[in-house]
Amino acid sequence: MMIIETDRLTKSYNGRGGCRGITLQVPEGCIFGLLGPNGAGKSTFVKMLAGLHRPDSGRASVLGLPLGRPEARRQLGYLPELFRFQDWLTPEEVLRFHGQLGGLRPQETHSQDFRLRIRDSLELVGLSDAAERRVGGFSKGMQQRLGLAAALLLDPKLVILDEPASALDPIGRYEIRSLLKRLQGRGVTVFLNTHLLEDVEELCDEAAFLYEGELLASGPLRELLSGTGDNWRFRVGGWLPETLSELNDSSGNALLRLIDSDESGNAHLSARVTDREQAGYLCSLFIRSGLTLYESGPEPNNLEAWFLQMVKSRQGGIPQ
């Protein structure tokens, strides 16, 4: 089942900006990454999904219901890009307040059940030890985790997170990533707005790419990346200066590039290959040529190549 489906969804601000004609499907249970540079229209798009912006035209359904339905909103957790909690509140008070924003009566948010729910949410995001502290003393990472706890408080089936990790240091980002994986393990669908390519590469099953308000591509990450080919790296021993031209003469269309080599004959090489079989062929070629193969594997930055290729196809040149 598709948990989000949009059909030519469009929203501009007095005829400018926003996003245009976005047709997208998000399968239930996946981690979906909406990528694009700043100003691409990502926040505008998710605000429409969360019911905060009314589209100018187009249609969409979230959790099988048309946009803006309260029944769908109740099953949806949303973490906006820029939020701040009142400094003087404790996490428990923040979450109680969010329970009320989610439609609970004040006395319900003081019930034993709800207290347990608050405790679970804080535990899920790793804030149990800070439950009694004031939010004003929290680091950015802790505030972001509290934002996530608020988005997860009412057990949503779908969470929409707008740049959840952009203000965080590497440890904070690592923590958010592992939390999102845990959520997926619990059956929650995660829709992630981000310009952090590593997050998408590591987390997402599917992705879409927005640029200047338009959708340039969407689908399973593997399929999106398959068109770009893979960069493969090799580390070999027994290298001689003439080896490169000998190898390239017999390697077909995979052009090997020497990254570096040293006097004892160790070398790093890189090649653009169409699939794993071609990388395997290169490995056998090294061995047949008398080299020692120490290591081989894909380079991790294929998404970056794809991203640049997308932008280039729109601009007619790689951005400087």
Q: Count of residues binding ligand ADP (CB under 6 A)?
A: 11
Contact of 35 with 95, CB cutoff 8 Å: no
User: Whole-number minimum distance, CB 34 to ligand ADP, in Å?
Assistant: 8
Query: Would you count residue 40 as binding ligand ADP (CB under 6 A)?
Result: yes
**17 vs 51, which CB is nearer to ligand ADP?**
17
Selected from 41, 91, 141, 172, the binder of ligand ADP by CB under 6 A is 41
Which helix (H) or strand (E) segment is 35 a member of? strand 31-35
Distances in Å between the alpha carbon of 64 and those of 9, 74, 157, 260?
16, 13, 12, 54
With contacts defined by CB under 6 A, name the span among 39-47, 216-224, 238-246, 252-260 that binds ligand ADP: 39-47
User: Whole-number minimum distance, CB 71 to ligand ADP, in Å?
Assistant: 26
Query: Would you count residue 73 as binding ligand ADP (CB under 6 A)?
Result: no
In whole angstroms, give the CA distance from residue 285 to residue 262. 21
Query: Would you count residue 143 as binding ligand ADP (CB under 6 A)?
Result: no
Q: Residue 94: what are its φ and ψ, rounded to 5°?
A: -60, -45
Q: In which residue are the tokens 């070629």 written?
A: 285
Contact of 52 with 58, CB cutoff 8 Å: no
Query: Would you count residue 55 as binding ligand ADP (CB under 6 A)?
Result: no
Selected from 3, 18, 149, 152, the binder of ligand ADP by CB under 6 A is 18
**41 vs 164, which CB is nearer to ligand ADP?**
41
Distances in Å between the alpha carbon of 158 and those of 75, 82, 140, 317?
7, 20, 24, 37
Token pair, residue 108, equals: 């319900």
With contacts defined by CB under 6 A, name the span among 31-39, 147-155, 270-278, 308-316 that binds ligand ADP: 31-39
**47 vs 117, which CB is nearer to ligand ADP?**
47
Query: Would you count residue 80 as binding ligand ADP (CB under 6 A)?
Result: no
Query: Would you count residue 38 as binding ligand ADP (CB under 6 A)?
Result: yes
Selected from 17, 64, 126, 229, the binder of ligand ADP by CB under 6 A is 17
**53 vs 272, which CB is nearer to ligand ADP?**
53
252: left (phi over 0), alpha (psi -120 to 50) or beta: left
Residue closest to ligand ADP (Cβ): 17
In whole angstroms, give the CA distance from residue 264 to residue 278. 28
Q: Is the dihedral of CA 162, 166, 167, 170 positive or negative?
A: positive
Query: Would you count residue 15 as binding ligand ADP (CB under 6 A)?
Result: no
User: Whole-number minimum distance, CB 264 to ligand ADP, in Å?
Assistant: 49
Contact of 24 with 50, CB cutoff 8 Å: no
Give the distance from CA 253 to its chain's centroid. 33
Query: Would you count residue 194 as binding ligand ADP (CB under 6 A)?
Result: no
* CA atoms within 13 A of residue 103's CA, in its CB half-sphere: 7
Considering only residues 103-142, where is the footprint of ligand ADP by CB under 6 A? none
Selected from 3, 6, 30, 44, the binder of ligand ADP by CB under 6 A is 44
In whole angstroms, give the CA distance from residue 21 to residue 55. 10
Which residues of this chain interact with ligand ADP, rule CB under 6 A? 13, 17-18, 36, 38-44
